[in-house]
Structure 1
Amino acid sequence: MDVVKIGYSVILLLIGLFIFIAPMIQKGDERKKFIYSKAQSYAFMVVIGILVLEVAQAIFYMIQEKNSYKGFGVSPIMFLTLISIIYLFSLIIYRKKYGD
């Protein structure tokens, strides 16, 4: 595997862990926790939606009996990047909406 890909994966994993764990460690008021929980729930709904679409696509290709479908699915690095970006944007939107 390429060193750049491994480095990118490690950096992305560390940033993702920090984004998801940092709000839980900080002590704050209920409004802040509410904003973080809303953003996390929205990101979780997107994750579930993407995974349901991937399963539906795999089932569709199996029913159609396509020989070209190998079942590769979603790239994990791209999936984590997409979810991190969605979480960041939803957090920004909810912060503006609920005033943090």
Structure 2
Amino acid sequence: MDWVKIVYSLILLVCGIWIIITMFSDKGDERKKFIKMKAQSYAFTIVIGTLLLHVVETIYITVQGNTSYNNGNGISPLVSLTLAIITYLVTLLIYRKKYGD
């Protein structure tokens, strides 16, 4: 089961590096910069929203006194990274189609 996590992490790392390289490869086109900025801001909003929901859920569970429900299970960095990458790629494709890149 550990090899699945390693392979999945490597795939995410390659996707992240690919996104960064493609983001900084072309310079000078304002429309491309606008599309990337819109996609980045939407992905950032989604990630912050999920983090806020997790914080609210943790506070609610703590106030209710049910500490056994969330017994040491925090936010998975792998899931958070996956959510950010998928959100960014989907919104990037949507905005590229919408604004014609």
Give the Cα separation in 1 of the matches to 2:35 and 2:25.
15
SS of match in other structure, 2:27? coil
Q: Offset at 1:22?
A: 2.2
Corresponding residue for 2:4?
4
Corresponding residue for 2:95?
94
Corresponding residue for 1:70?
71
Conservation of the 8 A alpha-carbon contact between 1:43 and 1:83: yes
Give the Cα separation in 1 of the matches to 2:84 and 2:90.
10
User: 1:40–1:94: structure 2 CA closer, same or farther, 3 Å change rule?
Assistant: same
Q: Offset at 1:21?
A: 4.2
- Which structure 1 residue ranges, 5 or more long, are not aligned? none
Give the Cα separation in 1 of the matches to 2:63 and 2:72.
13
Task: Map Cα deviations across residues 67-99 of structure 1 (whole Å, 9 max, x no partner).
Answer: 312141332222211221111110111111111
Give the Cα separation in 1 of the matches to 2:59 and 2:72.
10
Q: Offset at 1:6?
A: 1.2
Q: Offset at 1:17?
A: 2.9
Give the Cα separation in 1 of the matches to 2:94 and 2:19.
16
Conservation of the 8 A alpha-carbon contact between 1:58 and 1:71: no
AA of the residue aligned to 1:66: N
Give the Cα separation in 2 of the matches to 1:96 and 1:42.
16
Corresponding residue for 2:40?
40
2-11 or 86-95: bigger deviation: 2-11
- Which structure 2 residue ranges, 5 or more long, are not aligned? none
